[in-house]
Amino acid sequence: MESDADLVESAKLIETIQAGGVLSGVAILAVTWLLVRLVTAVIERGGSRYVHRRLLLNQVGTLLRFGFYIGGMAAATAVSINLSREVVLALTGTVAVTVGFALKDLASSILAGLTLIVDRPFLVGDRVKFGDLYGEVVTIGLRSVRLITEDNLLVTIPNNKFLTEAVGSANHGRLDMAVSVQFFIALDQDIGLAKRVVEECVTSSRYVYLGQPPCVRVSQCILGDVTAVRLDAEAHVLDMKYKQDYQSTLTERALKALREKRILLHGEAPRGAPLSEGERAAA
């Protein structure tokens, strides 16, 4: 008897689907998909041309894509299904429960995506830390967030994961981002000279945003069984996409400059006589 009731409810549900409306619904979904592709292409081209507005354009594109997807699905559903009293009653039965279980994960991800858009714990273009992953958020979609790691891996994470786990944003909607590079020198070296050398390398870097003053902090640390001096060179890069280029060029230039000033790095063997007092003053 129960199976007969299920069949009756299924038949009622099938009868509510309007044959002509299905084609219209498919057409609406196709137009929605084309609009989303068009918006994405325009945003990418605009971001390449107006670099200083890249993050803002990406955020606007995310809102537009969400709006097109939600509106397209609602319109396609409206023209395809006749929501009469019989339909509502049919949707309260076993068929609705079955469909609900099948779509509950998708529905929760869509609601989570809307929450991310409204609450804004991070934005498209942000560098985020999520669990063991670190990378740039490239899209916030209906179902998932996609980010590109520093190893150029495209990672897809369901939206609802971000509602229950901690996530950190390094720049939160800004193009510039703080980046730190560490250098370790021997404890008996001229710390003041080493600091000045690193500061000069930082401030002369073409990737550094001088609107946020860079700094070099000095501290002691234990490496193995030996005490060393750590120089933390912190600066804001003009655009977060330059992070790795900045770290690479700064490391290369600073190490070369320190060696030219005969400053021993941690664990490095002596290369010659240290600088005289006159040479230090000239440096």
Domains, the chain: 2-119 (1.10.287), 127-169 (2.30.30.60), 177-270+278-282 (3.30.70.100)
pLDDT at 1: 47
**Residues 166, 169, 173, 176: what is their CA dihedral angle, to the nearest 10 degrees?**
180
Report the alpha-carbon distance of residue 44 to residue 60 in Å, rounded. Answer: 12
Token couple for 63: 């809102």
pLDDT at 252: 95
Residue stretches of the chain with pLDDT short of 50:
1-2, 273
**Could you tell me if 237 and 175 are in contact, meaning their C-beta atoms sit under 8 angstroms apart?**
no
In DSSP terms, 219 is beta-bridged to: 230
Report the alpha-carbon distance of residue 118 to residue 175 in Å, rounded. Answer: 21
pLDDT at 271: 56
pLDDT at 236: 92
pLDDT at 205: 93
Reduced to 3 states, what is the DSSP secondary structure of residue 126?
A: coil
pLDDT at 82: 60
CB-CB neighbours of 85 under 10 Å: 7
Residues above pLDDT 70, as percent of the chain: 73
Report the alpha-carbon distance of residue 175 to residue 52 in Å, rounded. Answer: 7
DSSP 83: -
In 91-225, where do the E strands start and end? Answer: 127-130, 133-140, 144-149, 154-158, 167-169, 177-186, 215-223
